[in-house]
Amino acid sequence: MGPYARSPKESSADSASNDADRQPGTVRQRPERRGRPRRALRRVAIVVLAVLGLVLASTAVNLLLERYERATIAPYGERMDIAGGAVNVYRSGGTGPPMVLLSGLGTAAPALDFAPLIRELPDFNVIVVEGFGYGYSDLTASERTNQDISTELHEVLTNLNIARPYLLAGHSIAGFYMLDYVNRYPSEVSAVIGIDPTVPKATEGPVELPLQGPGWLRMLSVTGVARAVVAVAPGLAEPDGNAYTADERERIRLMTSWNLGNQAVEDETARIGNNASALRGVRYPDGLPVLAFVSGAGESEEPAKAATLEELLKNVQRHEIVPLAGGHYLHWTQAKPMAEKIREFLAVTGRTIR
């Protein structure tokens, strides 16, 4: 037999194997395809690159749109340089007693947010101070502690040279800063007005925190995702009620996409617990009148919120807590009754013209 000749046994075995392959129902074992993992990785890489390309394109388009919007839409208010940067201040131009308004946490455009209430207060010189991270102010800042925020506000009001004492009003988290401010500068405030103000309830001591940077919310803003979401579902950024003009609503939507998740607000948010702890045991001065509006009148949560405020204000000789129907942003839908109550309260306390 030659070197390539096959023995009868080998031929017989091969024939049997071939017969078995041809038998119905017989599964032939095939070698594993080594190319499959490579093809799968290639597909994943293509998808990742495509997503990355879309993100980069969306970011570029968003940047160009924001630049165009900022260049073509005249900003409201005036920018003022202070120690930490530049903040924006809006003044209504009224000739009456000065009222300083502070916004709630993360409000994109405070001066626009308060527009319905400002329109109901033509007899006051309303001043909206947009802190760092808000409105047209710088979006980066140092640590957002009570002390820093109060010091910055005092510097702004000193530079404005407004008549003292002035009324101090604020929404939501501004409840922290008003409480801190009047204890640092008690002679400068004639009365405090809280709009569903947050009451500091510290459960533990402060924690050492580094300066916080922008997070994933800022990525939604930079990449244009926030812009797209607001365009598709404008109700997520627009205020409730019918007290806003179409232009105000459009600008609020735009400024929401511009300012979302900025560094200053992210740092302020991270320090809520520390700021609450710093105000443990702090109360308003006994002789300082305080008016507080509480949202959700007639709802199950309202009595507990009113009771918490009552506990905070129990030492204040002249205070009043007024429940109103509506959500947390009461000035969106209840501006008129709020303005009427403010005048009534101040008239009784004699603080309107002080």
Neighbours of 220 (CB within 10 A): 17
Q: Mean pLDDT in runs of 10 for the chain (354 residues)?
A: 51 51 54 70 79 81 92 96 97 94 98 98 97 98 98 98 96 98 98 98 87 93 92 89 96 96 98 96 97 96 96 97 97 98 92 52
pTM: 0.85
Name which of 128, 124, 126, 117 is nearest 87 in CA terms: 128
Report d(CA 272, CA 200) in Å as an integer: 9
Phi, psi of 289 (to 5 degrees): -65, 140
pLDDT at 191 (0 to 100):
98
- Tell me the C-alpha distance between 339 and 122, whole Å: 10
First to last CA, the chain: 125
Q: Is 33 exposed, middle or buried (0-12, 13-18, 19+ CB in 10 A)?
A: exposed
Which residue in this structure is represented by tokens 């409840």? 175
**Quick one: which of 71, 89, 134 has its CA closest to 263?**
134
Q: Write out the two tokens for 236.
A: 């997520």
- Alpha-carbon Rg for the chain in angstroms: 32
**pLDDT for position 214:** 92
pLDDT for the residue 126: 98
* CA 238/CA 236 separation, integer angstroms: 6
DSSP secondary structure of 4-22: T---HHHHHHHHHHHHHHH
Q: What is the pLDDT of residue 20?
A: 47
With CA atoms as reference, report the closest residue to 295 among 194, 164, 215.
194
Q: What is the pLDDT of residue 40?
A: 80
